[in-house]
Structure 1
Amino acid sequence: MSLAYALLVSLIHEPKSGYDLAKQFDGSVGFFWQATHQQIYRELTKLEQQDLISAQAIAQESRPDKKIFSVTDLGLANLKTWLLQSSDLAPVKDEFLVKIYAGYLISHEAIVKSIQTHRQLHQRQLATYREIEQQFFSGFPQCHAQSTGEFKLLFAYLTLRRGITFEQGWLDWCDEAIGLLQNAAHSDLGDT
């Protein structure tokens, strides 16, 4: 996926400034799509040149004008076409897994400690997602069908649920890996 579509998706909900988009990428969208502020501003310029978004200048006192970006009809049509296209599996580029793959080169204690530390990172991320779920979606699955206005929220909820199951999967894997390594150490299999 290109950053362009992530920006169009972010802007479709409401017009935003580049600064507001960058802040959003530091939060909600940033949980599943990373971009620097420089990348965001560069992509906004391209989208505007392609007439997929338009910018309205808002005068500010003692500051340069602020640009508020919104999706054009052409941008919406482009976004809808993209939404209908199938998505490939995202390639995995995970430094930690490369380290695990070569984990036999270091002691059991060191690799177990590394996995425990990694587990804590995923536990913290899961806690963040659970807080978001509690704050914004408490009781949501049970009541979302009652209001058509909440239909849009269902998609944000589904995205959040994917994050929760992703982090839970990591915790499960870490627990399994630690158990296997500890059993291997006790049975003297593969000691280094």
Structure 2
Amino acid sequence: MSLAHTILASLVHHPTTGYELVKDFNERIACYWQASQQQIYRELSRMEEQGWIEGERVIQSDRPNKKLYRVTELGLKTLKDWLVQPSNPAAIREELLVKVLAGYLVDIAVIRAELERRRNYHQLRLEHYYQTEQEHFQDLDSATLSMQFTYRTLRRGIRYEADWVEWCDETLDWLNGMDQSNV
């Protein structure tokens, strides 16, 4: 999967500006794909050159002009071609787990602090996703099919963050209960 596919999947819902797309990445898409503002704008330019999207300049008298991006027929075909391909699980490279693996080599307080820091990070993301759920997904029965699919991705993000919080709590409890003579 690439950033381009993620952008196409987002833009196919509705035309949007680069600014709004960056905001979507930060608020809703971050649970499964992270990209910086620079990466997104660079990819939009590349996709426009390839004919996957087109940008329409919108003149505004009270604000700076903006560019509204929409998926072209070629972009839709590209996305559909990609959708029917089997997906591969992402490679896991989790630095914190390596630190826990070798954590017995340093003072336990170092590992505890790292776990607490990571727990706080995931807790904040979890709260953000719950807030997004409350703001945008209250009435799923009348939501469009597109929104229902979007909600499924948010639910995965919620479960991912909740699992991290739970694992950090479990590991912190274990560390706190350790007999210091075993350290």
1:116 is the counterpart of 2:109: no
Q: Is the 8 A contact 1:48 1:54 kept in 2?
A: yes
Query: For 1:66-85, what per-residue CA distance to the aligned partner results, in whole angstroms no more than 9, with x for missing partners?
Result: 32211011111111111111
State the 1:125 CA deviation: 1.6
TM-score, reference length from structure 1: 0.83
Query: For 1:43-101, what per-residue CA distance to the aligned partner results, in whole angstroms no more than 9, with x for missing partners?
Result: 11211121111122223449875322110111111111111111111112333223222
Aligned pair in 2 of structure 1 residues 172, 73: CA closer, same or farther (>3 Å)?
same
Counterpart in the other structure of 2:94: 94
Which residue identity does 1:164 align to in structure 2?
I
Which residue identity does 2:169 align to in structure 1?
D
Q: Is the 8 A contact 1:123 1:167 kept in 2?
A: yes
Counterpart in the other structure of 1:132: 132
For the residues of structure 1 that align with 2:75 and 2:43, how far apart are their CA atoms? 14
1:103 is the counterpart of 2:96: no
1:84 is the counterpart of 2:84: yes
Q: Is the 8 A contact 2:27 2:132 kept in 1?
A: no
Query: For 1:129-182, what per-residue CA distance to the aligned partner results, in whole angstroms no more than 9, with x for missing partners?
Result: 122222222363xxx2xx4x5322211111111011111111221122123323
CA RMSD of aligned residues (A): 2.2
Counterpart in the other structure of 1:182: 176
For the residues of structure 2 that align with 1:88 and 1:155, how far apart are their CA atoms? 20
Which residue identity does 1:112 align to in structure 2?
R
> Which range is displaced more, 130-139 or 13-22?
130-139
For the residues of structure 2 that align with 1:66 and 1:59, how far apart are their CA atoms? 7
TM-score, reference length from structure 2: 0.87
Which residue identity does 1:154 align to in structure 2?
Q
For the residues of structure 2 that align with 1:151 and 1:59, how far apart are their CA atoms? 32
Aligned pair in 2 of structure 1 residues 165, 71: CA closer, same or farther (>3 Å)?
same
The structure that has the greater radius of gyration is: 1
Gaps of 5+ in 2: none
Aligned pair in 2 of structure 1 residues 168, 72: CA closer, same or farther (>3 Å)?
same
Q: Paired residues, what number?
A: 183
Greater RCO (Cα-Cα under 8 Å, separation 6 or more): 2
For the residues of structure 1 that align with 2:84 and 2:27, how far apart are their CA atoms? 26
For the residues of structure 1 that align with 2:17 and 2:109, how far apart are their CA atoms? 49
Gaps of 5+ in 1: none
For the residues of structure 2 that align with 1:67 and 1:172, how far apart are their CA atoms? 43
